[in-house]
Structure 1
Amino acid sequence: MNRIKHILIGFLLILFLVITSLGTWIYSQIDSALPVLEGKRTLLGLSDTAIVERDSQGIVTIKAKKRNDVAVATGFIHAQERFFQMDLLRRNSAGELASLFGEKALPHDKEIRRHRFRERARVIVSQLPEKDLALLKAYTRGVNQGINNLSSPPFEYLLLQQAPVSWQEEDTILTVLSMYMDLQYAAGDRERTLGNIKNTLGEDVFNFLNPKGSIWDAAIDGSQYPSSKMPTRAWPSASSEQDNLAANTVQNLVTNLPEKRYQGEEFPGSNNWAVSGKISKTGSAIVANDMHLGIRVPNTWFRATFEYQSNNNKAIKVTGLTLPGTPNIITGSNGNIAWGFTNSYGDWSDVIILDTNADNSQYLTPAGYQDFTEHKHVIAVKGQDAQEIIVKETIWGPVIGANNSEQLLAYRWVAHDVQAVNLHQTELELATSVDEAFDIANQAGIPAQNLVVGDKAGNIGWTIMGPIPKKSSSFGETPTHWADGINHWQGYLKADQYPKIKNPQNNRLWTANARVVGGKMLEKIGNGGYALGARAQQIKEGLLGKELFSEQDLLDIALDDRAIFLKRWQKFLIDKILTPDMIINHPSWQAVKEIINTDNLCACTDSVAYRLVNNFRLNVRNDVFSLLNENLTHLDNGYSFHTIRHQVETPLWQMINQQPTNFLWLPEDNWQKVFEQALTTTLTDMTQKQPLAKATWGQQNTSKIQHPLSNAIPFIGRWLDMLPIPLAGDSYMPRVQGKSFGASQRMVVSPGHEASGILHMPTSQSGHPWSPYYGLGHDDWVQGKPSPFLPGKTKYTLTLLSY
């Protein structure tokens, strides 16, 4: 018995030692992956010493004599702080995620491989001007030395049991192409959806559901476009088979889980606006920018200041945000100009219906039938054998599938051309005026953005930054045939052909992903799916509400969470649903009426009224369009209501007010029952296990900002993720905020007055949970605190020496 006892004790001691040793080894590996903050390092590629300073939040200042030395240092720091994030971006656009994450990433990789982005990136690198190629090579040298100077690889690779792969020049191009995928449609989803509506339901229904304008339009040139009239015939036209399908599926739609029903209406984009020096307290222009993206740990951006000498020995100091994977300041201020972006949502792609022969082996072109070009891809899959796929391509672009008539579709997209990416944006670091910024913007290769720029002299301007295709005619809203040569692209606009607005009479500019201009300028840009203008209109009203502005005044506009967009829905609910007769039938609704009968409707964390009105609207919309969505999805899986969810607000409002009897796919017996059901569903969801008074907006809109590996390895998630916090704001107001989506930064700065500027962003600089500044700065973003634009007092200094 004693022998067994001794053996058991010995076994437990050995097990304890093994677990302790393993834990110690894991701890040392993770600890060794922390970036080098102080001391000296010698780097290949530096022409002279570079100094890297960090403040208490890890915000970086890089000082060097030459711009390429700054690039080496930037690459070094990016790799040390954010290499895993950079790796995900390049793999995302290259279709190489399965080699990291296994079979679950394979569908994504197969879909993306049709774009052949790695091959295209190599071509772009081979055609870069010598100056840009030198900058890219300097950055790449810095990245690879940064990862090699870590004592252990970033902790994510330890958890994934993988090793990091060295950076190549083409990977920076892939990083930008990953932003194309985030900011533009990679497979023509919206165009295919509109095509389905037009072909299935007719021209009148298409025009009604795809309005040219609305009461929310707030273009900076004052242009207006009308919405379309409601169809007068019975619509949609449904076969009996489709009617049966709809009847069988509506119950499933009604019983969706609340979190699915109320998923955020995120719209990758941004707000930016500017006031001229004539109405600013600084005398210079003031530019504000908050870019809306998915938010995770770490944040998309990395804050930095660059100090160096230009080629003519002029001292340059530029502060703002960098994108790990690229060597330049994306948005910020250089003392002479300040600039920011919003996604433009112009028409940067086209879906082409292919005319093929009987067996689909050839397709018709203006020059006759041609064979498809085929490209073989080998996709590495973690834990499995590699898989081979064949990608078909046409003279216009890759084959992306087929429509409901079994016609093959090809995709023409700016992202496939060499014009898509270049390093010309780096020149903004040197620009001294709005005019110079215009010239740079109109030659830059990035996903086309609304650039709003202001200069020290007080000028402000708007233009498109990024390539604009020149089309043979006005087409592209729905898939079209190109075989006869009528529809085609004629290259790209030259810089002097770009739309521009400088110094408008009211001294104010604003963009918020909605239509910015009309007329001839709009014809050049096209419509790739603009946001509803509610945000833009609220920003415009905020700018027109004062005659003199400080930086704080512009931040106040960014933090505006008033629910102006929902005011009419609030009134509709009170006047049409919460009537005395309805309350007699539903006595509990009296409390609802008392809650929402407020003048101060806002997306505040403690607001029950906002949550009621917002969710009622979503339930009405989902119910009204439920049968239409089910039927069109059944006819063609290329249909996606998500791509048109914003634009249907205008026809929806017409429908619920006019309550047409010729709309055949109403899921209830009459319109009043639709509204009653929507409110009943809203209240049922909000009062699960709690009284209505506790069902606040903050409870529903609680942050869920996570590390990419958090869900895969739940045990460590609590150390990687930001703490859940109720958040103010929503989609149709300046303060855009969802659970894991919203302002990826907020910046307000006046060139020449950076010391009084404002900049904060979610999560933090660091991607390592043991970093001394992990999570620092996040609270400022949550609270909307006007934290400084410039880095604070230096806490850590790293000297990078040349060989």
Structure 2
Amino acid sequence: MRLLARLGRGLLWLLLLLLAAALALVLWLKVTSTPTTSGTIRLQGLSGPVTVTRDAWGVPHIRAQASDEDAMFALGFVHAQDRAWQMDFQRRVSQGRLSEVLGKPALPQDRFLRTWGFYRAAQSALPALSERSRLMVRAYTAGVNAGFASGKAAPEFRILGYTPEPWTDVDSIAWSKLMAFDLGGNWEEEVLGSRVVGRLGERGLNEVMPPYPEDAPTVLSADELKRTGPRVQASRPAAVSLPPATLRAFQAHLDAARALGMQPVPGKGSNDWVIGGTHTASGKPILADDPHLALTSPMLWYLADVQGPTLKAIGASIPGLPGIVIGRNERVAWGVTNVNPDVQDLYVEPDDARFTTRTEVIKVKGSADERLTVRESAHGPVISDVGAGDVGPRVALKWTALQPRDTTLDAFLGLNYAQNWADFTRALSRYVAPSQNFVYADVDGNTGYYAPGRIPTRKGWDGSLPVPGDGRHEWTGTVPFARLPHTYNPADGLVVTANNKVVPGSFPFTLANDRNWAEPYRAERITQLLTAQPTGLTVEDVKRVQLDTVSLVWRDLKPLLLATRPDGDPSRQMLQRLKTWDGNERADRAEPAIFEAWLSELQGMAGDELGEGTRINSLAVRNMLRADGELCRNEAATGENCADLLTASLKRAADTLGARLGSDVSGWTYGKVHTVASNHRAFGGVKALAWLFNHSAPTNGGTNTVNVARPEPGTLRQTHGPSYRQIVDLSDMNRSVYVGSLGQSGSPFGNHVTDQQKLWVAGGYIPMSTAAQDWGKASTLTLTPER
């Protein structure tokens, strides 16, 4: 017994020692990763002093006296202080160098990234930038490196055991190429279209990928288009059959993109709108924006207020990129959503096609280097080689974002300086990719809209399917900037964009085929809410619109779903609850969980025809149920129709929710399963570290609600959504508000890790103000030139 007692005491002491060691490690990581936010630091590369005042939420308010370049230097410095790991990770993604620090599990991602050549495209873009942009990039790069050398290191560097390399000017624009991939293009739709035609024939295209409804809203009306005319009718190219090996290669790219958090997501997109003064209480415009992207830890955006002698911009920046991406200055405000035009084409190259080759050496932590041969045709990189080798046709990708002389950074930096509509459009004339819906407002009361970008024109074919690369299907040019969709001071005083179709059929150019656009539900709901109160709108009214969670998808599907024959008591209870539901997807209600779990089952109805994992959107579900369509028929159960599918899918949803939440249907509250998953890109799936780096909370919203929060199939968690919200009041700029999805700190030991997430979930905002009295408790760091 004494021996056992001694062993027990020894074990207790061992546990106490381990706990003390763990606490000491945490304290050490906190001390060594927390940035200096007060006092004075002397740095090389500055021409004059700069103050960086971090407000109560950790947002830096940068004030440079000598030059705008000093202000940009300081932005690079604070980016590196708060988000060094995020910046290095994003740089490694753009370079395809994840395996160097993460080992073999990252090889599929590196193969995908090297094959597409994102970093090579960034290298080709740098020389094309204007002199002002290159100066700003150079200053930003110097600031980043000063931040890297400040003596503090992100915990991820210490955990993985490496130090980030010095930042370069190319690094400062490289992440924009991955943003272009995440937001622009339709290559995966071409692949799906090819599979659909091969399996279901031409008719299957409209069933699996329904065209945009003719009666749904477009961003611009025919009256707002300055030039209209007959569109050149384009025919669909003959379907090119892609063998299984090629499809497997494409799937490898898609899987790699998903592992990086960049994948096609139904309903993913953004909202922005601008309201003219005739509709507002102040008589001046109000501009709102909320881009919908992957919700990560740390969050993508970094809020900042950057001022020099002439630069006066505040809003959302992206660590690794110089300047404010979405926001305002002293006179002009802007917001963006994705246009998603057709700017990518897949070419099946003929046997006699000529290729250039390069060898990519991928260094792998703990293993031998891997050598990857990448081929390129005249159209672009051959993306069918990964996983397929020389088996099957060689399919090349042509994409505007991979072409040389991309001057998009000129456009964004130009917006930071714009003083009026002329400056705004002059800046956007330099925009290449990814094409965005820009809304505009200024303090003089003007509003506008422009959809810039390099959008190819085609003659005689519509770009919807892979085509032979034999010269018969080449781009004939791009839509001239002056002919791109735009409007200035529209008569109705309202522009609403939600990734919906941009222009009606009277527009003379084809921006995309009618299956490219997002479903119209968000645009319809935003317009419905804004026009319900034709005058007197305030910032508070606009907040309510941004946070709206009423589902118009439920409105469309309600009569079809409620006619379902239940199979079992849980199904009956589910239907009973749905009968009186108003469609508001709140986290404290059971009905949203029932509806979204059921809808998720229905969206998989094409899986038996096109392979497990194939998802159709809500519009396709509605069309199939209304028409008792063929996709309802399960090939493994002959004779099934849509009525049978509804019964079976409801039963599956009941079984899934019951297994997770118990037998009491009233206890199936949405927030128990629908939680935001802001996960770390590297450690999010590592059990020993996930608790430290991942952040979760119950959230409202669902598929295609304005406050979009599409549940992930299977888990019902939210992985994408409004990554940033802003509302700009042009009557008093400092009454504007904004908020991010998580917090400013990149380190889990920082002081501002999740303070914005709490507001973001609850529908709160922080002041988007350049006035010190609005900043709350603040700390000031002075950066001075090293003499």
TM range (shorter): 0.7 to 0.9
Structure 1 window deviating more from structure 2 (53-62 vs 674-683): it is 674-683
Please say if residues 569 and 617 of structure 1, whose CA atoms lie closer than 8 Å, have aligned partners that are also in contact.
Answer: no
Which runs of structure 2 are paired with 1:376-395 in the superposition (5 Å)?
376-395=359-378
Residue 70 of structure 2 is aligned to residue 59 of structure 1: no
Q: 1:139 maps to what in 2?
A: 140
Aligned-pair distance for 1:182?
Answer: 1.8
Residue 312 of structure 2 is aligned to residue 325 of structure 1: no
Q: 1:698 maps to what in 2?
A: 671
Which runs of structure 2 are paired with 1:89-488 in the superposition (5 Å)?
89-149=90-150, 151-185=151-185, 188-214=187-213, 217-222=216-221, 267-310=267-310, 316-356=311-351, 362-363=352-353, 370=354, 372-401=355-384, 406-424=392-410, 425-483=412-470, 485-488=471-474
Query: 1 CA distance for matches of 2:168 and 2:140?
Result: 10
Change (3 A) 1:573 1:494: closer
Q: SS at the partner of 1:289?
A: strand
Please say if residues 271 and 512 of structure 1, whose CA atoms lie closer than 8 Å, have aligned partners that are also in contact.
Answer: yes
Structure 1 window deviating more from structure 2 (488-497 vs 91-100): it is 488-497
Structure 1 window deviating more from structure 2 (28-37 vs 200-209): it is 200-209
CA root-mean-square deviation = 3.1
Please say if residues 442 and 494 of structure 1, whose CA atoms lie closer than 8 Å, have aligned partners that are also in contact.
Answer: no
Q: SS at the partner of 1:656?
A: helix
Q: 2:622 aligns with which of 650, 653, 657?
A: 653
Q: 2:690 maps to what in 1?
A: 717
Query: 2 CA distance for matches of 1:705 and 1:661?
Result: 38
Opposite residue 500 of structure 2, the aligned amino acid is: A
Residue 658 of structure 2 is aligned to residue 687 of structure 1: yes
Q: 1:629 aligns with which of 588, 606, 610?
A: 610
Aligned-pair distance for 1:300?
Answer: 0.6
* Structure 1: gaps spanning 5 or more residues: 225-241, 243-262, 311-315, 357-361, 364-369, 634-639
* Structure 2: gaps spanning 5 or more residues: 224-243, 245-262, 712-717
Q: 1:641 aligns with which of 600, 614, 626?
A: 614
Q: SS at the partner of 1:641?
A: coil
Please say if residues 222 and 506 of structure 2, whose CA atoms lie closer than 8 Å, have aligned partners that are also in contact.
Answer: no
Query: 1 CA distance for matches of 2:756 and 2:18?
Result: 39
Query: 2 CA distance for matches of 1:120 and 1:621?
Result: 36
Aligned-pair distance for 1:40?
Answer: 0.9
The Cα offsets for residues 319-346 of structure 1, whole Å up to 9 and x where unpaired, read as 1111100110011111311111111111
Query: 1 CA distance for matches of 2:369 and 2:179?
Result: 27
The Cα offsets for residues 506-527 of structure 1, whole Å up to 9 and x where unpaired, read as 2111111121212354734224
Query: 1 CA distance for matches of 2:7 and 2:560?
Result: 77
Aligned-pair distance for 1:594?
Answer: 2.8
Aligned-pair distance for 1:586?
Answer: 4.5
Residue 780 of structure 2 is aligned to residue 797 of structure 1: yes
Which runs of structure 2 are paired with 1:391-790 in the superposition (5 Å)?
391-401=374-384, 406-424=392-410, 425-483=412-470, 485-519=471-505, 521=507, 523-527=509-513, 529-548=516-535, 549-574=537-562, 576-578=563-565, 586=568, 589-598=571-580, 600-622=582-604, 624-630=605-611, 641-642=614-615, 645-646=616-617, 649-659=618-628, 665-668=634-637, 669-671=639-641, 672-688=643-659, 689-722=662-695, 724-737=696-709, 738=711, 739-790=718-769
Q: 1:228 maps to what in 2?
A: none
Change (3 A) 1:91 1:603: same
Change (3 A) 1:775 1:458: same
Aligned-pair distance for 1:782?
Answer: 0.6
Aligned-pair distance for 1:618?
Answer: 2.7
Opposite residue 573 of structure 1, the aligned amino acid is: L
Change (3 A) 1:6 1:695: closer
Query: 2 CA distance for matches of 1:620 and 1:446?
Result: 34
Q: SS at the partner of 2:492?
A: coil
Please say if residues 331 and 443 of structure 2, whose CA atoms lie closer than 8 Å, have aligned partners that are also in contact.
Answer: yes
Aligned-pair distance for 1:544?
Answer: 1.4
Answer with 1 or 2: which has the greater Rg.
1
Aligned-pair distance for 1:716?
Answer: 3.9
The Cα offsets for residues 450-500 of structure 1, whole Å up to 9 and x where unpaired, read as 1111122222222113332344454211111231x3322244444323221
Query: 2 CA distance for matches of 1:145 and 1:661?
Result: 62
Query: 2 CA distance for matches of 1:6 and 1:44?
Result: 60
Change (3 A) 1:721 1:654: closer
Please say if residues 153 and 164 of structure 1, whose CA atoms lie closer than 8 Å, have aligned partners that are also in contact.
Answer: no
Q: SS at the partner of 1:320?
A: strand
The Cα offsets for residues 382-429 of structure 1, whole Å up to 9 and x where unpaired, read as 111211110000011011117999322110011211243442111112
Query: 2 CA distance for matches of 1:219 and 1:198?
Result: 28
Aligned-pair distance for 1:277?
Answer: 1.6
Q: 1:39 maps to what in 2?
A: 39
Q: SS at the partner of 1:501?
A: strand
Q: How many residues are treated as equivalent by the alignment?
A: 723
- Identity, % of aligned pairs? 24
The Cα offsets for residues 680-723 of structure 1, whole Å up to 9 and x where unpaired, read as 1122222222311101222221222223344454334333332x
Aligned-pair distance for 1:604?
Answer: 0.8
Please say if residues 623 and 629 of structure 2, whose CA atoms lie closer than 8 Å, have aligned partners that are also in contact.
Answer: no
Query: 1 CA distance for matches of 2:582 and 2:16?
Result: 61
Query: 1 CA distance for matches of 2:91 and 2:155?
Result: 19
Query: 1 CA distance for matches of 2:54 and 2:147?
Result: 16
Aligned-pair distance for 1:744?
Answer: 0.6
Query: 2 CA distance for matches of 1:593 and 1:665?
Result: 23
